[in-house]
Amino acid sequence: MAKKVTFSVFRYRPDRDDEPRYVDYQVEIRRPGMMVLDGLNQIRWEQDGTLAYRRSCREGVCGSDGLNINGVNRLSCVTHIEEVSDRRLVIQPLPSLPVIKDLVVDLGEFLDKYFLVKPYLINREPPPDRERLQTPEERKKLDGLYECILCGCCSSSCPSYWADPKYLGPSALLNVYRFIQDSRDTGADERLQILDDRRGVWRCHTILNCVMACPKNLNPTQAVAGLKKALVSRRY
Ligand code: SF4
Ligand code: SF4
Ligand code: FES
């Protein structure tokens, strides 16, 4: 008989329920290496079709299935069930983000902050006939920055983000640093102006939760340190 692991899943419909509740489901481990997303699919497809959660690529690429699993923010599609626990998993939506239904959160404000920092190449010089070139060394500076999949695991694990809903948060800050570091980009000044605020980089207190949470092993804290340095050199 297949082994079973209990999934204790957060259920909540804010339009209907007075408060959230946790529902226990038994998930069968039918093959080695089953992911948390496989377990959620098993529940939805075989036990309770009303359970809501997001997923798409199943490969750790689209960033849609960030969840809090036994207290840690992770992507459900690349998290092995048995690596978390062989007995019980408590599955909750990403902390501090408004719940739409069950495990689905509203990412609207999170994405607004991302767009606020102008996450695209700014260069008002006339474009060359072909592409804007970079040396291999210049390109290398983008490693560890361009890989962000906007899953929200970092920002929703950041105590400064919980405390101040206006704080841009580690994801937006890492993404702005990606463009400031790009040798083809000339928009650093206009971006740094947006960040030089107590809701910008100065709200980061180097607690490092964001680094621990990132499923792509990125380091938003280092990006924030780079931004602080750029702001200080700009001032003096
Ligand atoms: S290091 Fe900064 S951005 Fe990261 S969790 Fe801490 S306060 Fe938030
Ligand atoms: S920095 Fe990492 S945790 Fe944060 S949004 Fe990007 S991929 Fe997700
Ligand atoms: S489903 Fe796309 S990252 Fe997990």
Domain ranges of the chain: 3-105, 108-235
Residues of the chain with pLDDT > 70, as a percent, come to 100
- Alpha-carbon dihedral angle through residues 56, 57, 59, 64, given to the nearest 10 degrees: -40
The pLDDT confidence band at residue 65, using thresholds 50, 70 and 90, is very high
By alpha-carbon position, which residue is closest to atom 2 of ligand 1?
Answer: 204
Pocket test for ligand 3, best of 40, 56, 74, 153 (most atoms within 8 A of CB): 56
By alpha-carbon position, which residue is closest to atom 8 of ligand 1?
Answer: 158
Expressed in angstroms and rounded, the spacing between residue 175 Cα and the centre of ligand 2 is: 9
3-state helix, strand, coil in the chain (%, to 5): 35, 15, 50
Expressed in angstroms and rounded, the spacing between residue 123 Cα and the centre of ligand 3 is: 32
* Ligand 1 atom having least distance to the Cα of 211: 4
pLDDT score of 3: 94
Helix axes 220-235, 169-180, angle to 10 degrees: 60
Expressed in angstroms and rounded, the spacing between residue 163 Cα and the centre of ligand 1 is: 12
Tokens of 52: 């809501």
Mean pLDDT of the chain: 96
Residues 6+ apart with CB under 8 A from 136: none
Pocket test for ligand 1, best of 153, 204, 211 (most atoms within 8 A of CB): 204
* Ligand 1 atom having least distance to the Cα of 203: 7
Between the CA of residue 209 and those of 63, 137, 153, 159, what are the distances in Å? Answer: 18, 30, 10, 8
**What is the C-alpha to C-alpha distance for residues 226 and 118, in angstroms, rounded to an integer?**
17
Whether residue 153 has its Cβ less than 6 Å from ligand 2:
yes
pLDDT at 82 over 90: yes
pLDDT at 198 over 90: no
**What is the C-alpha to C-alpha distance for residues 153 and 160, in angstroms, rounded to an integer?**
14
Average pLDDT over residues 50-72: 98
CB 11 within 8 A of CB 21: yes
Whether residue 103 has its Cβ less than 6 Å from ligand 1:
no
Average pLDDT over residues 100-117: 97
pLDDT at 235 over 90: no
Whether residue 210 has its Cβ less than 6 Å from ligand 1:
yes
The CATH topology of domain 108-235 is Fumarate Reductase Iron-sulfur Protein; Chain B, domain 2 (1.10.1060)
DSSP 98-137: PEEETTEE--HHHHHHHHHT--S----SPPPSSPPP--HH
pLDDT score of 146: 97
- Give the 3-state secondary structure of residue 206: coil
DSSP 144-179: TTTT-----TTGGG-HHHHH-TT--HHHHHHHHHHH
Superfamily per CATH, domain 3-105: Beta-grasp domain (3.10.20.30)
Expressed in angstroms and rounded, the spacing between residue 229 Cα and the centre of ligand 3 is: 34
- Alpha-carbon dihedral angle through residues 50, 51, 54, 57, given to the nearest 10 degrees: -90
pLDDT digits (tens, 9 = 90+) for 8-25: 999 999 999 999 999 999
Whether residue 163 has its Cβ less than 6 Å from ligand 1:
no
